[in-house]
Amino acid sequence: MNDLLQLEVLDLEVPVLTGIYSEETHLPQPLRISVIVDLDVMDCFAPDTPLSASKNYMDLKRAATTALPSDIHFVLVEAVADHIIDTLMIPDPRIARVEVRIVKLAIAEESESIGIRRVRYRK
């Protein structure tokens, strides 16, 4: 069994075209997106270990922001999560697991967190 490195990018606020109700379908909704990636690693990290031995946090941020198409309407936020997961897992076989949490800010009152958590493991 390999060691595991967990990378996190939490609480990004991203406007995404999503929703099922007519008032949600014309304009992007604000979503709070968090991404957690489990990366298989074999070695310890020495002071001079290059970035290629890990994963750039900006890849996680890009998957949850600029890699989301702005011209596609995602009916369900579950589909938004799957798009983020595919963006990360498909090109990098070292990723063992991705967790995406999405909170729909437009429907939250006060400090509520209403949303989903989607987890996918590499098969």
Write down all domains in the chain, each with its CATH number in brackets: 3-121 (3.30.1130.10)
30-69 pLDDT, tens digit each: 999 999 999 988 778 889 988 888 899 999 999 999 999 9
Distance (Å) of CA 70 to CA 40, 74, 94: 32, 10, 28
Of 94, 2, 96, 98, nearest to 54 (Cα)? 94
0.75 exceeded by pTM: yes
